[in-house]
Amino acid sequence: MTDTDRSDLLTAISSAIAAAPTGKSAMQQVVRLLKDAIPYYTWVGIYVVEGDELVLGPFLGKPSPHTRIPLGKGICGAAVTEMATIVVDDVNADPRYLACSIETKSEIVVPILRDGHALGEIDIDSDQPAAFGGRDRELLEPIAAMLADAWEDE
């Protein structure tokens, strides 16, 4: 996918979020558009912070055993605790990693931040090693910011 294609994808996602009737629908559209557009995004999901846990919301890919993750656990928990994007080139070499599928080789987790706290996160796994880099951050961090703006508090 070229940089122009990624720019078009970001525009399409921005429009979809703006048109979505609910925050949940916005999340579903983001997951669908990302999964369909980028072949190495093997599993795409959004976790929502609820109390001291992350709860799995919309996702596409194989069902994950990790539908609830304590904030202190996993790469998912670390991204929320650190309030920063985490890229893991080799999940099997990271002691924090909670396995979702044996085919997964690398992962990116981008927190959805508002007013200095995390509302949730975008979690993407790839079956390719070291799949994620600067271009993925440049795509996903603006999407996380858009989701934060569209967020509906419970």
Contacting positions for ligand SME (CB under 6 A): 43, 45, 64, 66, 69, 74-76, 97-98, 100, 107, 123, 125
Q: Measured from the CB atom, is 74 or 111 closer to ligand SME?
A: 74
Q: Measured from the CB atom, is 47 or 113 closer to ligand SME?
A: 47
Q: Measured from the CB atom, is 23 or 45 closer to ligand SME?
A: 45
CB of 93 to ligand SME, least distance (A): 13
CB of 11 to ligand SME, least distance (A): 27
On whether the CB atoms of residues 119 and 113 are closer than 8 A, the answer is: yes
CB of 69 to ligand SME, least distance (A): 6
**SS3 label, residue 99:** coil
Neighbours of 117 (CB within 10 A): 10
Q: What residues form DSSP beta bridges with 114?
A: 117
Q: Measured from the CB atom, is 10 or 128 closer to ligand SME?
A: 128
**SS3 label, residue 50:** strand
23-37 helix and 3-19 helix, angle to the nearest 10 degrees: 160
- Shortest-Cβ-distance residue relative to ligand SME: 74
CB of 28 to ligand SME, least distance (A): 16
On whether the CB atoms of residues 85 and 110 are closer than 8 A, the answer is: yes
Q: Provide the 8-state DSSP code for 132.
A: -
